[in-house]
Structure 1
Amino acid sequence: MTQLPASSRRTVVKAALLGAAALLGPAAAPAAATAPAGAEEGPTVLRLPAPTGPHPVGLRTRVLTDRSRQDPWEPGARRVKVSVLYPARTVRGCPRVPQLTPAEAEAFAELAPWVHPGLPAGGVDWGAVLTHGHLDAPPLPGRRPVLLYGPGGGDSRTLGTGLAEELASHGRIVVLVDHPGDASQVELPGGVRRTVLTGPPDPETFRTMVSTRVADLRLLLDRLGDLPLASAMDPRRIGAYGHSAGGTAAVHALVTDDRIGAGVNLEGHLDLDPELVAGLDKPLLMFRTDGFREAARLTRSWSGVPARQCLLPAGSDHGVFTDYAHLVPRLQAAGLVTAGARAALIGPADPAAATAVVRHGLRSFFARRLPVRVHRA
């Protein structure tokens, strides 16, 4: 088992959390941080692609505490952090929000090569990556569909920023959900909470992780009124989508919670409870790549699920559903990521085609299933 850099953690949970997802591949010690000859001097500043919709994007964050539930990874009540992205009326005077807070960026700079072997251990200014979300921008009027997003195992919610901004710019409210203890790092009141442990998967830990994520989604639905932009959210039009373990949780939530009307699974396994997901009677769209190392397991777990499936363009891999699709090629161009590491994370092909398919697919699916029909207050 590979031990992460020192942080507060429960020693009783010795099973893997990042690896427990097994959806991002087995954990390994990071490669040497030496950059290839010719690498750029000074920290590399990364950028995310702009959304294509007609509306600018606002962003607000919130932490919710569920005092009725104990956190499975450390003592205390369960806490969940969210970012709410939404179509804004204007963004004048509202600054763009960094993808990571300074404290989160500092933690991720240390964790990156452990969370995803091949990412650089230095040379990147993670705190300088700006989103296209503008802090506290005034929202467009009316009530809008709500989409809940869950990241992959070991990833933070912020790695779904680009896709969320795309959906928000086309008129939807998107709630990016962090699952502390699972996510690589989350800044909460009192400090940054890092992921618990890493290592090979075990079924019990993965089941605990997914069930915790589903309970986190239910908490948000129970307390929509406590979220930013609550008055703009239409509780009759709620969807869920997620990447990897987040996709697994999104489908389980879709099956078990009547408040969620449609879902998208971005390459998440569905073999925890085959009978449960086989009974799905709601719209579900599932995306996969041709490079995913868990393809055989994925195919088996999807075989009995009543859902439309979409294969991304050839040469894509598991991380192409996340912001790594845009960040990793820039890191490779700067000499900080090898071609092999890039291929293992997002695939060797140009990610632009895969990104376009995912963006268009989600926009079209949710436009049909949860259309934007703005009701003025």
Structure 2
Amino acid sequence: MTIPFTPGRRSFAKGALAGAAALFLATAAPGSASATGRSGAPLLRLPAPTGPYSVGARVLHLVDRSRNDPWQAEIGIRELMVTILRPAVPGRGFPRVPQLTPGAAGEFAFLAHLVRPHLPATGVDWAATLTHARAGASPLPGRRPVLLYSPGGGDARTMGSSLAIDLASCGWSVVTVDHPGDASEVEFPDGRPGRDRIRTTVLRPDMDAATFRTVIDTRVADLRFVLDTLGLDRVGVYGHSAGGTAAAQALHEDRRIAAAVNLEGYLDQMDGEPLPVARQGADRPLLLAGTDGFRNARLDRSWAALLAHAGPVTRRQLDDTAHWVFTDYAALVPQLHKAGLMTAAGRAAMVGRADPRVTVPAVRDLVRSFFARHLPV
């Protein structure tokens, strides 16, 4: 599913973006995949976090017995998988967490070019990419503000790893949330009647209005369930595409959310009906962030409906970029292009033509600076 955004009046100057690139040069350049994995495929790298803290990761399986699954009624309950990323005690002996487990990578290898047609159908070892979070690392003591992340429609939470880990390295606790049945693939600890251990997406390119409504309603309910289950209050929520839509609407519905970031998500239904947040406005900080590579009349209308209200709503634009620059694809797609596995047109369509040494720090700074103002660590 594609969720574009109409940019507002303010934009990042290209010169300002270039200044952010210095933060990125301390790691292997994300646009180059010089090494190869055991399969001979290019070894894709995610950029290192920029904060002062090590990051630990913990995966949780959450079960909501008050709801049935909207996509597979035979399951009888609603299940979620989340990853909690927290500043951690530094130390050796804790392995880096892979972006995708072998099982999830196997499913994604089959689905990748179906979910995102510009991605290569073969030639990528999706299981070989490591994040910069450490499994088993002990969290630092003390309470920290919490941020929830909802990925784009058809994407798994794992494709938002780089930004989430960077935020955790700067002091926030970050909870990345999968929306099973919607996400490309979600791996559970085990199978159960009605579903396999690895559950794949039911979304199709010809999504209708009823399906889109279910996507957003389910995501908002999922986010609120995570707040309930983890006992969270006064949190931030950010999301990409359909996740951005859900983040904005969840801000409207749940007073426990103090601030939200919508990264290129529509604010209406497919039939043109504005969501309540757009129709009634926002009374808590909301950032609308977009690219110059994604825009259409629907986004113009839905964002304008919200911005017509007085309220603490800010919008920003990233130039020379496209929709998936807000995800791990910002670093991965240029590497795939350089390795000859993607066309220049495919790269531009997904993340734009700007250098990832510029765009990745810019996206990080955009989200980090917003939450530093409204949910400081």
2:298 is aligned to 297
1:247 is aligned to 244
Q: Residue type of the partner of 2:328?
A: D
Matched, 1:207 2:213: yes
What is the DSSP-based 3-state SS (H/G/I as helix, E as strand, rest coil) of the residue aligned with 1:62? strand
Per-residue displacement from partner, 1:301-358 (whole Å, max 9, x unpaired)?
Answer: 1113241000102x20001000000000000111101111111111122233232222
- How far is the alpha carbon of 1:134 from its aligned partner? 0.2
2:352 is aligned to 347
| Aligned counterparts of 1:345 and 1:276: Cα–Cα separation in 2 | 28
1:8-157 mapped onto 2 (5 Å cutoff) = 19=1, 22-23=2-3, 42-74=40-72, 75-76=74-75, 77-157=77-157
| Aligned counterparts of 1:124 and 1:52: Cα–Cα separation in 2 | 27
Say which is worse superposed, 185-194 or 175-184, in terms of deviation.
Answer: 185-194
Asked whether the equivalents of residues 242 and 248 of structure 1 are also in contact (C-alpha less than 8 Å), the reply is yes
What is the DSSP-based 3-state SS (H/G/I as helix, E as strand, rest coil) of the residue aligned with 2:49? coil
Asked whether the equivalents of residues 316 and 351 of structure 1 are also in contact (C-alpha less than 8 Å), the reply is no
2:337 is aligned to 332
Q: Residue type of the partner of 2:80?
A: V
1:318-329 mapped onto 2 (5 Å cutoff) = 318-329=323-334
1:155-234 mapped onto 2 (5 Å cutoff) = 155-188=155-188, 189-190=190-191, 191-225=197-231
Q: Residue type of the partner of 2:120?
A: P
Per-residue displacement from partner, 1:115-168 (whole Å, max 9, x unpaired)?
Answer: 101211111110010000100211111000000000001000001000001100
| Aligned counterparts of 1:162 and 1:60: Cα–Cα separation in 2 | 16
1:262 to 252, 259, 264: 259
Percent of aligned pairs with the same residue? Answer: 57
| Aligned counterparts of 1:101 and 1:214: Cα–Cα separation in 2 | 26
2:318 is aligned to 312
Count of equivalent residues: 327
Per-residue displacement from partner, 1:160-214 (whole Å, max 9, x unpaired)?
Answer: 0000011000000000100000000010122110111412231110010100000
Q: Which runs of 5+ in 2 are unaligned?
A: 6-35, 192-196
Q: Residue type of the partner of 2:105?
A: A
Structure-2-length-normalised TM-score: 0.84
What is the DSSP-based 3-state SS (H/G/I as helix, E as strand, rest coil) of the residue aligned with 1:261? strand
| Aligned counterparts of 1:262 and 1:276: Cα–Cα separation in 2 | 13
Structure-1-length-normalised TM-score: 0.84
- How far is the alpha carbon of 1:275 from its aligned partner? 4.2
1:357 is aligned to 362
Asked whether the equivalents of residues 4 and 265 of structure 2 are also in contact (C-alpha less than 8 Å), the reply is no
Per-residue displacement from partner, 1:213-264 (whole Å, max 9, x unpaired)?
Answer: 0010111011105xxxxxxxxx443000000000000011011001110000
| Aligned counterparts of 1:303 and 1:91: Cα–Cα separation in 2 | 49
Q: Residue type of the partner of 1:83?
A: T
| Aligned counterparts of 1:149 and 1:263: Cα–Cα separation in 2 | 10
What is the DSSP-based 3-state SS (H/G/I as helix, E as strand, rest coil) of the residue aligned with 2:66? strand
Asked whether the equivalents of residues 55 and 88 of structure 1 are also in contact (C-alpha less than 8 Å), the reply is yes
What is the DSSP-based 3-state SS (H/G/I as helix, E as strand, rest coil) of the residue aligned with 1:205? helix
| Aligned counterparts of 1:341 and 1:134: Cα–Cα separation in 2 | 32
Asked whether the equivalents of residues 91 and 134 of structure 1 are also in contact (C-alpha less than 8 Å), the reply is no
Q: Which runs of 5+ in 1 are unaligned?
A: 1-18, 26-39, 226-234, 373-377
